[in-house]
Amino acid sequence: MNDKDWKETLTAMDRNRAFIESWSEAEPEPAAARCEFSRHRTLAHLRAAQEFYLEAVLAFAERDNPSVTVLHAWRRFTLNGYEVLPWRTHLEAYQKDRTTWEQLVRNPSLDRSRGGRFNRNERTIESMTQGLVTHEQAHFEALLAREAMPKRG
């Protein structure tokens, strides 16, 4: 990734955060089987995914070539009962972790090509950041498409 692409990734990261922060609070909908059926479930999933990726990003920044194995985002979501936790709990955790990530990747001395193994796959800080951004955007598109569908009834 060249410097222009990296700057675009960081700009997209900011846009994604602002988009989430613009959402109105939503009640948990435990019966929502998929993220696009519920803004609450989408936020909870994006929180879990960000936690999942951030563990590796922090390890990559701290030491050379670590091998990081973490609980997958969906397992974290299920085991921690994210589908029923309050909106504010998810939003505050998402914002706290996003601030940590943003401070790290905006540090001018950061080598964004640092990496290691993440759940047995070679990754870098740069690829994890890009992965987070595109993952969030895919969920936004699915949620917005679902909300744009005419209601039956």
Query: Which tens digits make up the pLDDT trace of 64-109?
Result: 998 888 878 888 888 999 999 999 999 999 999 999 999 999 999 9
pTM score: 0.91
Domain that holds residue 119: 10-144
For position 123, which CATH number holds?
1.20.120
pLDDT over 60 at 26, yes or no: yes
118 lies in some domain: yes
45 lies in some domain: yes
Per the rule left: phi > 0, alpha: psi between -120 and 50, beta: everything else, 59 is alpha
Residue pLDDT, tens place only, 35-51: 778 899 999 999 999 99
39 lies in some domain: yes
Length of the chain equals 153
- Measured over the CA atoms of residue 88, residue 46, residue 138 and residue 14, the dihedral's sign is positive
2 lies in some domain: no
Give the pLDDT band of residue 151 (cuts 50, 70, 90). Answer: low
